[in-house]
Structure 1
């Protein structure tokens, strides 16, 4: 079990989309580890959300631009004293490999073919209707869910295969961003912390790390171009509104900029 809990706040739209994709890939991966019909429903829900999120034609280009930006930034580190050249070369090779996969194997036509599959399209149209995927609404889905779990998972993997290069790119980009800063200890006085952001660097992500034992409160992070603020809230009863903690709270903070 993890000894810490991490809360993250993206600082631009591109990172926000990447974090959502990471979440969806994790949801689908978890759902396909079990053969129950409800897990298959969860996997389909993740697939439809992913299709909606990546529906813009320029998404492939945005991934390539982000990978290229990291490659250029890291290449400049060669001139920095103390940089481990072998590690840097390994990371640059990984960026190059993933960029090549995106360029040659992330085929928007193949993704569109998944989107336009009659079976998936019929279910997707009911996706935003409350309870719209129940058995009388989509009998084809009910029929599919009666099949053996191994067969359903094989179908799911076929539909997800075109997204494999995207998944690699998302994992690599977010890893590079998270590894760009080491969490440092901070204190939120009376449940509040505020700090300015260096506008000369490319700020990407704020990470707040708490001990798993600090379960009485959670951070609410708000950020702009020049500063961010963290309010630690208490909500012992989820039926009641959360209120700001008046305690001094120890936490670790990482401002990721790369």
Structure 2
């Protein structure tokens, strides 16, 4: 019998193209956005494994070679494979960022070159963060209802809000809202940044960034207390 708890994809070079194409051709801003997206998704996937009480190395078979019946073996294997994919992509992104930083600091003026080496990382992070453009992203879901006293209401979500980003989830990767559920499950009691577009007048919409904290103890069903439908 195959080793059922072994990852389904090998470690090593990135096993699939990055969503934004070759990382070497991305700008600083695009690299930073991609890096943060990968970090958020890896954190959420780690939360999925934690919810099952396993990690990347936990055996999924019994001593006599049968799949364990106390855990969802299929979901754990899928989650582990996804983590390996993302870690390979993350390594590529960080290598590319490092290359860009070396090129940047090699070209700055003498006054910048004379600054202490220990401050290079901080200056680089400011450069990356400040250069991210404020673009209006296309929404992929709509808030249909919000329960009173729920985490969704506390965060400021309202019926009719159109969701542009839910943590690392966006129109390109939401997978019929399955990734939203995954993000919520992996970030219980943690803050998720939710970007929404809200109609404030008949011809005008307002772009908002809300901090949503999924939790079970709010007194109602689910972790959010709202109903979201795909657009």
Q: Is the pair's TM-score, using the shorter chain for normalization, greater than 0.5? A: no
TM-score under structure 1 length normalisation:
0.27
Q: Which has the higher contact order (CA 8 A, sep 6+)?
A: 1
Q: Which TM-score applies when normalising by structure 2?
A: 0.29
Higher strand share: 1
Structure holding more helix per residue:
1
